[in-house]
Chain A
Amino acid sequence: MNKTFRAALAGLVTSTAMLSAACAEDIKVGLLLPYSGVYAALGQDIDDAFALGLATFGADSGATFEIVREDDEVKPPVGLAKTKKLILQDEVDVMVGVVSSGVLGAIRDTVDGAGVPLIVANAGNDEATGEACSPFITRISFSNQQVNRPMGKWMVDQGVKKVFTIAPDYAAGRQMIDAFTTGFTAAGGEVVGQEWPAFQKTQDFGPFLANAKASGADAVYVFFAGGEAISFVKQYDSFGMKAELPLYGSGFLTSALYVEAQGPAAEGVITALHYVPTLDNPENAAFVAAFKEKTGRIPSEYAVHGYDSARALVEAVKAGATDRETLAAALPKVSFTGPRGELRIDPATNNIVQPIHVYETVAGADGLTQKVLATLPAEADPVNGCAMPAAVN
C-alpha cells in the first residue's frame, strides 16, 4: 500500500514535472498591432515595450516566449483575417495587442468563440469591458470613461464651474467627453457648450475655437489624439486663448509621444491620464531607464501598455497557466505594482483598475515634461451590461 502510494506519488511528480517542462518550453504569443497606417508609431511603442517586459520579467517564469507578429494596418477586416491566421495557423496560446477599438470590435467574437485569451494593450472603447465583455478578453490598458470620469470632480474642486467641450465626432470622442461631463455635472459643474468636429476630416479648429471663446466658459475640456492633438493645441495657443480659457483634457492630448511637436503651445495644459513618464516610483524609474536605453525614446502611455501586458502574461504563467484555457483563467486574476502604480483586474468586467494621474505639461531642462498635480484613486468602471460567465471565473 505504502509502496504503491509512493510509486504513484513519484509518477505524479514526474508527470507534473514533465508536463510543466513541456509547457514551460514555449508560450506562443500572437502580437496583433498596427505596424503601418496612422497608428504605426503607437504599435511600435507597444511592441518595443512588450519585448522589454518579457525580457525583464520573463526569465524567472521558467517559460520561453515565442512572438508571432502581425500587422492589423488599423483596418478591422485585416485585423480579423490576421487574428484567424494567428489562432488557426500559428495556434498561438495567447494574443496581445490591438490599438484600434474598431479592430477590437471586429475580432471580439472570433477570439471569444475560439477561446483564445486576448490581452488588450490599448483599445479603450467602453463596450469591450461592458456589454461586449468576454471571459477571454482582459484589458490591461484603460477604458475611455475611466481616464475622464475622475477629472470632472477634480476640476470642480479646483474651482472650475463652467466648461466648453470639444472632441472629434466618433465613438471614443463621445465616450471620453460623456464620461467627463457625467462626472463634472454630478460634482456641480455646468457644461455651457459642446462641439464635435468631424473625425479625421477637420484640420482647422479655428471655427470651433471661436464658439468656445464666446460661450462664457471658465475652461475648455477636450479630447484629441495624434496629429489632431498637435494641430488643436497649437491652434488653441495661436488664438491666444490659453491665458483667458485654460485648456484641460484627456491626457492623450499632450501625450509624451508627440508633445514635443506641440512645443511651447502645450505649456500649461492640464490633463488626466493613467500613465505619465515622470511618475515618481521605483518601478517607473526602472521602466523609463530600460526603455530609454533600448529605444532612445521616453516611454509613452502606449509603451506602458505593452510593458504591463508582458508583465501580466508572465504573472499568469507564474501562477501555473500553460495553455489557452489556463491562461484565460489566470489573466483576470493577476495584480501587481507597475510603473502606473497598483494594478488589478476587475473580475466583473476583466477591465483594469488603476489610479488616474492629473498632470500639467511644463517646460523642463530638456524640452517639455510632465508635472504630476494629483493622483486620483483607482475606481472600477461600472459593469455596463457585462455578464461574465461564471464558469470561467
Chain B
Amino acid sequence: MTTDLGFWVLQTLNALQLSMLLFLLSVGLTVIFGLMHFVNLAHGSLYAFGAYMAASLAGVLGYWGGFFLAPLAVAALGAVLYFTLIRSQRRAGPMAQVLITFGLIFVAVDATRLIWGDLPIGIAVPAVFEGQLALLGVEYPIYRLFIIALGLAVLAALTLVLTRTQVGAMIRAGVDNDQMAACLGINVERMFFLVFVVGCALAGLAGAVAAPVLSVTPDMGLQILIPTLIVIVIGGLGSLKGAVAGSLIFGFVQTFGAVLMPTFNSVLIYALLAAVLVIRPEGLLPAKG
C-alpha cells in the first residue's frame, strides 16, 4: 500500500488540508501573541462559535451566507471581548490573562450548549463543491481541495499585507518592539484592536469551513486548542512563517503518523514538541531575531 503513489498523494492532500485549517487558527493566535503579548486561550472557542454561526446561518441563507457572515459575527464578538476584558487585562501579565481566557472557554462551552443544545450539528457541503475530483490518479473530495486553496489564499493575502503595505510594516514594527513603535508615532493600541479582530475573524472562518467536514459540537473549541498551541510553539510565537511551518509540521506528522505508525501517533507530535522546546525553545521561526 505504501508503494502505491496514490496513497502518498491522498495522504499528502489530507495532511495539507489539516495544515491549512490549523494555519487559519494559529495565525490569528500567534500574531495576537506576538503583537500584544496576550495569551488568548479562548481562541478555540471563537473557532467553535464560528462553526455554530455558520451552521445556523447556513440553515437560513445557505452555505455561503454562513461562510461570509460567520467570520464577521466572530469578529464582532472579538470586538466585544476586546473592550470588556482584553484591553483591561493587557498589562495584567500572563497569569491573569491565562486564567481569564481559560475561564472564558468554559463560559463559551456552556453558552453554546444553552443556545444550540448538546446534540452535534452537521451542515452540508455547498453544491458546487460536492463530489470528488480526479487528481494525480486519486479521487479527492472537492471541498477539501477548497479548504487547501482557501488556506493558501489567506496565507498569500496575509504575506502581502504584512510585507508590502504600511499597515503590515507597522504591525511588524509593533511585534519587534511595541514601545519603540509607539514612540515613532504608531497608534499601537488601535493596531492591537485591528489585529485582534482580524485574528478572531480568521478563527471564525476556520470554524465555518471546518463545519461541513467535522461535526459541530460544544467541545470542538477545546479539542482544537491544544493542536493550535502546539503549532505556534513549534513554529515560534508571533511569526507568520512560524505559523505556516508549525501547521505544516503538525498536519504531516499527524496524518502520516496516523497511517504509518498508528501505535505511536498520539505521542509523536508531543515528542516533536518536546524536542523543539529543548533544542530551540523560541520555536523554529520566531518573530524576533
Contact between B213 and A234 (Cβ–Cβ < 8 Å)? yes
- B251-287, CB under 8 A of A: which get 1 and which 0? 0000110110010011000000000000000000000
Interface size class, chain B = 35 or more
**Residues in chain A near residue B217, CB distance under 8 A:** 38, 226-227
- B219 on the interface (CB 8 Å rule)? yes
Contact between A41 and B213 (Cβ–Cβ < 8 Å)? no
Contact between B266 and A208 (Cβ–Cβ < 8 Å)? no
Closest to A193 in B: B1
- B144 on the interface (CB 8 Å rule)? yes
CA distance A235 to B4 in the complex (A): 22
Closest to A240 in B: B132
Contact between A258 and B120 (Cβ–Cβ < 8 Å)? yes
**Residues in chain B near residue A203, CB distance under 8 A:** 214, 220, 223-224
- B113 on the interface (CB 8 Å rule)? yes
Q: Which of A88-96, A110-118, A142-150, A194-202 contacts B (4 or more CB under 8 A)?
A: A194-202
Q: Which of A198, A201, A207 has the most CB of B within 10 A?
A: A207
**Residues in chain A near residue B259, CB distance under 8 A:** 207-208, 210-211
Q: Which of B10, B118, B131, B224 has the most CB of A within 10 A?
A: B118
- Which residues 39-94 in B have Cβ within 8 Å of A in the complex? none
- B196 on the interface (CB 8 Å rule)? no
The smallest C-beta distance from A36 to any residue of chain B, in angstroms, reads: 8
Contact between B119 and A214 (Cβ–Cβ < 8 Å)? no
Q: Contacting B213 at CB < 8 Å: which of A38, A200, A231? A: A231
**Residues in chain B near residue A41, CB distance under 8 A:** 117-119
Closest to B251 in A: A204
**Residues in chain A near residue B219, CB distance under 8 A:** 38
Contact between A238 and B144 (Cβ–Cβ < 8 Å)? yes
With A210-B11, A230-B120 already in contact, the answer to whether A204 and B214 are too (CB < 8 A) is: yes
With A239-B132, A240-B139 already in contact, the answer to whether A44 and B144 are too (CB < 8 A) is: no
Contact between B213 and A196 (Cβ–Cβ < 8 Å)? no
- A34-48, CB under 8 A of B: which get 1 and which 0? 001010110010000
Contact between A207 and B14 (Cβ–Cβ < 8 Å)? yes
Q: Which of B24-32, B121-129, B177-185, B239-247 contacts A (4 or more CB under 8 A)?
A: B121-129
The smallest C-beta distance from B47 to any residue of chain A, in angstroms, reads: 12
With A214-B4, A263-B124 already in contact, the answer to whether A200 and B223 are too (CB < 8 A) is: yes
Interface of A is mostly: helix
**Residues in chain A near residue B214, CB distance under 8 A:** 203-204, 227, 231
Q: Contacting A226 at CB < 8 Å: which of B10, B17, B120, B258? A: B120
CA distance A260 to B217 in the complex (A): 14
Contact between B4 and A202 (Cβ–Cβ < 8 Å)? no
- B137 on the interface (CB 8 Å rule)? no
Contact between A196 and B262 (Cβ–Cβ < 8 Å)? yes
With A200-B223, A211-B1, A214-B4 already in contact, the answer to whether A262 and B122 are too (CB < 8 A) is: yes
Q: Contacting A202 at CB < 8 Å: which of B1, B118, B140, B258? A: B258
Contact between B131 and A197 (Cβ–Cβ < 8 Å)? no
- A386 on the interface (CB 8 Å rule)? no
- Between A and B, 25 residue pairs with Cβ closer than 8 Å are A36-B110, A38-B217, A40-B113, A40-B118, A197-B258, A198-B266, A202-B258, A204-B14, A204-B18, A206-B144, A206-B255, A207-B258, A207-B259, A210-B10, A210-B259, A214-B4, A227-B220, A231-B213, A238-B125, A238-B143, A238-B144, A238-B213, A258-B122, A263-B122, A264-B124
**Sample of 8 more A-B contacts, CB < 8 Å, known A200-B223, A207-B255:** A41-B119, A207-B256, A231-B213, A234-B215, A238-B213, A240-B132, A261-B215, A264-B124
> CB within 8 Å of B: which residues of A?
36, 38, 40-41, 44, 195-198, 200-204, 206-208, 210-211, 214-215, 226-228, 230-231, 234-235, 238-240, 257-258, 260-264
> CB within 8 Å of A: which residues of B?
1, 4, 6-7, 10-11, 14, 17-18, 110, 113, 117-122, 124-125, 131-132, 139-141, 143-144, 212-215, 217, 219-220, 223-224, 255-256, 258-259, 262, 265-266
